[in-house]
Structure formats: C-alpha cells, structure tokens
Structure 1
Amino acid sequence: MIDLIFLEDDPILGAELTEFLTEIGYRVTFVTTLAEFDAAFEPGRQRLAVIDVGLPDGCGLSVIQRLRQSGDRLGVVVFSARSTTLDKIEGLGIGADHYLGKGCDLAELSATLEALCRRLELTNNDAPWRLELGPRRLFLPDGTAVSLSQQDLLVLRCLMEAPGESISRRQIIQALGGDYMSYDQRRLDTQMRRLRRKVLESGGQALPVNTVRNSGYCFYAETQVRA
C-alpha cells in the first residue's frame, strides 16, 4: 500500500475520510493538529498528504510551505472548506499539487490522488489479489484464502478481470445471469456488503472495491484470475 498522512481537525469527518481512503487502497495515518503531523510524519515512507487548512493550532498551508522549503517531494492535496478562487491560488502558489473543496465528490478526491500517484510514479508493491475460478477461492496478498459462493465468484470475476476500471451495475447483474430491467438492485448492494464483510472477517483486510457513485464498482488493486 502507498502510505498517506491525513491532517483534519474534525474527528467525525476525519474518521469517515480515513475509512474511505483506506477502502480505496491507502495506508492512512490520521492526525488532527499541526503538532501531531510533525510527530507522525516520516519522510520517505509517507509519500502523499491530504491537508486541511483551518486547524486549531495554525494553518495547514504552513506545513506545505515547510515541506517545500525542505525539498520534500511529498504529493500534497489540500482538502478544505476554504475553497474560493483566492484560497486555491494561495494554496497552489505555496506548493500544493491540488486544491479541492470539501464539497467535492469523493470520487474526485480518489481520481486526484490516483493522478498524483501516476505523476510521482508511486506504485503499490503488494502482491496481487488472486481469484481461482475452479476452487472458488479468493487469495489475499498475504496468502490468506477465502472460500466463495458462486454468486461471490461471478461478481469478483467481473470486477477482477478489469482492475482499475469502473464496472457498471448492468454488467455485474448480467454476469449474475439477471435481467437488468427487472433485477432488484438492493440485492446487489446486499451481496457486496456481505462479500466485503466476509473478506474482512476471514482475512483481516478490506476488499479493495470502490463504489463508483451512480455507476457501479471498481476493483482498484492488482489482480490475477486463474482457472
């Protein structure tokens, strides 16, 4: 996983976004103040940062300024309620790579981080997630095997044969042998929740599947599919 440090003073929002960032494939260190950031930041290990501006002990832009003055190549995304044009100009001028308002869709945050990873040539060196069709098993990167139902297998095959791509609900339902127009899509949502829970409880890792709002799902980690 790529390590990311997340600075946000709102504990509820911070917990929600930490969960989201973890679900889309990052190893997150969550801090709430500038002092906690300085104590937790490890140059060379954490290569991405998501930083709020308004903090109880100062301004998040001061962190970015210090990082840039030290020559650190950390990829930085400002994620702030202060999102006027002047705010963005100031943040980008100090050295942020991207500046997003907190009202943006989380899919935009995800896409921004992915683009930043590509530009900085950051790669995930974890072993791939492996799906074995015959035995109906999912192997996690650490080698843990999770037994699957036939429905689980069909959903994962649909997603894992096209890692990094958004797979529509229609495609998944058709892979399950259902008719999209008459299929109760709540069944698909329930199955995805059960599948995520099964993988987490069996292997201790979150299934790397991102929900694409109003569209479908995306398996965002490296995969192998074997007969």
Structure 2
Amino acid sequence: MPRTHLILLEDEIVLRQELAEFLTDIGYRVDTADSLAQFHQIHDPALHRIAILDLSLPDGDGLDLMRQLRAQDQQVGIVILTARGGLQDKITGMDGGADHYLAKTADLDELAVTLVALRRRLGEAEPKERWVLELGPRQLRPPGANPIPLSHQDLTVLRILMQAPGTLISRKDIVLMLGADFMDYDQRRMDTQICRLRRKAQRACGLTLPVNTARNLGYRFYAEAEIRL
C-alpha cells in the first residue's frame, strides 16, 4: 500500500529535521518547507493528503495559509503544531479549519496517533501488514517480500520489540534483556543497531522497518508482528 504523502511546514531547522525523520520512520512520505513562500512552491494538492503547519513563520502566519487552503476547498487534512498552545489559540485554530491542534510540547506519539485518526477520517484504511520474525532460520520476513537474514544481535533486538508491538520499550529494558550492564552500555551502540536494521530492510525489500524512536527513551515496533520458532 502506498505511503501517505504529507507536507510539513516548520521554520525551526532542528525541529523540522527531527519531525521529518520521525514521520519517515513511522511510514510517511514527507516534504518539508520552512516558510509560507516555500510551502506554496512545493505544495501539490493532488499529492499531499495531510499538512502539518506551524503558525509563527518568518513571512507570515500559518493561520492565514490554513484559511486559504480551506477557501480553495482543498480536501487536505490539517494538523496545527505550534508553540501557541493557549486555549484561545486552539479555539481560533479549530474554528479556522484545523482538524487537530497540538502544542509543540506534545509527545511525538500523540502526533502519530493524531495522524492515524486523521487518515481514518480521510478514508484511508490502515494497512495490516504483518512482519514475521522467524527464530529458527534467524530471519525477518517483511509483508510480501523475501526474508531478510539477521545476525544474532539483530534477532535479539527485534524479538524484544516485536513481542510487544505498539509498546514503547525503554532503552534500559532492551539493554538488560541483552544481558548487558545499562550503566556501562554505550547508548550509541543501540542507535547504530537500529539504523543498521532500517538500512538492511530498506535495501532488501524497499520497505521502511516499522520501528520508531522516542528520543532518549526507547523504541517501538508499530506494525502487526508475529514471532515464529
């Protein structure tokens, strides 16, 4: 099933990069803009089903952009993600046409759940793609693709994540399950492990490994999962 294509408007470069990485990790195709002008340059109503908009921008207000999109009767889902998190700001945003209004202090998981609800409203079915971890052959079988051989470490990490799909597994729990001492463990090893697994899946089958990162907290396997002996 094709991945939902969205456009992200955010002028803070670090936050824009972090959000784009997170959204890509959880299965979206993402285009980014840092200003109203750039948004208008790259926005394609036929392509972008969802728009995530900041409000305070270097060349104007995202509320004006949202009103323009609604005035043009564009069938796009709109999520406001802004530092303007007061009640009156939210009322103004929702009244102006936002489907959802989130403060930038919101957890990324809340953004992910919000997007799922919005896609459902837009009539996009959630894919039920089952990833299967085969312990005996030591391989990962993506939906509709050939199995991917795994190292012992790959297998162990995926087993920890896939035995509780949808649940955030803390870094500490993963390290302890690996039989290591959390206080002595180099956290960069875990990040490298996950990055390597993502690259391996992408190269082998062209699919995004459904593991997202809660920064400094842990990891979650967010797709349908099965573990076989």
For the superposition of Structure 1 and Structure 2, which TM-score range results when normalised by the shorter chain?
Answer: 0.7 to 0.9
AA of the residue aligned to 2:137? P
Match in the other structure for 2:195: 197
Structure 2 residue aligned with 1:98, among 84, 97, 100?
100
Amino acid in structure 2 at the alignment position of 1:15: Q
Partner residue of 1:81 out of 80, 83, 94: 83
Taking the aligned partners of 2:91 and 2:128, their CA distance within structure 1 comes to 37
Deviation at 1:219, TM superposition (A): 0.9
Distance 2:46 2:127 in 1: 15
1:12 aligns with 2:10: no
**d(CA) in 1 for partners of 2:216, 2:195:** 22
Aligned: 1:211 with 2:209: no
Residue pair 2:167, 2:220 contacting (<8 A) in 1 also: yes
Assess if the C-alpha contact under 8 Å between 2:22 and 2:213 holds in 1.
no
How many angstroms apart in 2 are the aligned matches of 1:12 and 1:194? 20
Are the aligned partners of 1:196 and 1:206 in contact in 2 as well (CA < 8 Å)? no
Q: Look up the SS of the partner of 2:92 in the other structure.
A: helix
| SS of residue paired to 2:75 | coil
CA 99–128 in structure 1, closer or farther in 2 if over 3 Å, else same: same
Counterpart CA distance in 1 for 2:221 and 2:198 is: 15
Amino acid at match of 2:152: Q
Partners of 1:141 and 1:78 lie apart in 2 by: 33
CA drift at 1:192: 3.1
Aligned to 1:46, what secondary structure does the other structure show? coil
CA separation of 1:198 and 1:140: change in aligned 2, threshold 3 A: farther
Provide structure 2 residue ranges, at least 5 long, that are not aligned to the other structure. none
Larger CA deviation: 126-135 vs 81-90: 126-135
Conservation of the 8 A alpha-carbon contact between 1:2 and 1:124: no
User: Which is further off, 187-196 or 14-23?
Assistant: 187-196
Q: Which residue of 1 aligns with 2:109?
A: 107
| Alpha-carbon offset, residue 104 of structure 1 | 2.7
What whole-Å deviation, never above 9, does each CA across 1:178-199 have from its counterpart, x for those lacking one? Answer: 4xxx842664845532322323
3-state SS of 2:196 partner: helix
Give the partner amino acid of 2:193.
Answer: L
Deviation string 1:19-70 (CA, Å, 9 cap, x unpaired) is: 2222222211001122222232222432221101122222211221122223
Query: Take 1:24 and 1:156, find their aligned partners in 2: how far apart are those partners?
Result: 16
Aligned alpha-carbon RMSD (Å): 3.1
Deviations 1:70-124 (A, max 9, x none): 3333221111122222211111101111212223333332232233233334346
What is the distance in 1 between the residues matched to 2:115 and 2:186?
28
Alignment CA distance shift 1:18-1:215 (3 Å): closer
C-alpha distance in structure 2 between counterparts of 1:223 and 1:78, whole Å: 32
Pair 207,75 (structure 1): closer, same or farther in 2 beyond 3 Å:
same
| Residues 1:2 and 2:4 aligned together | yes
Deviates more, 1:206-215 or 1:55-64: 206-215
Count residues with an aligned counterpart.
223
Distance 1:215 1:102, change over 3 A: closer
Aligned-partner SS, 2:49: strand
Change (3 A) 1:139 1:44: farther
TM norm structure 1: 0.78
Residues 157, 40 of structure 1: alpha-carbon distance in 2 compared, 3 angstrom cutoff: same
1:163 maps to 2:161: no
Instruction: Note if 1:40 corresponds to 2:48.
Output: no
CA contact 1:48–1:74 (8 Å) conserved in 2 = yes
Shift of 1:7: 0.6
CA contact (8 A) 2:135 2:227 kept: yes
Unaligned runs of 5+ in 1: none
Contact 1:5 1:50 in 2 (8 A): yes
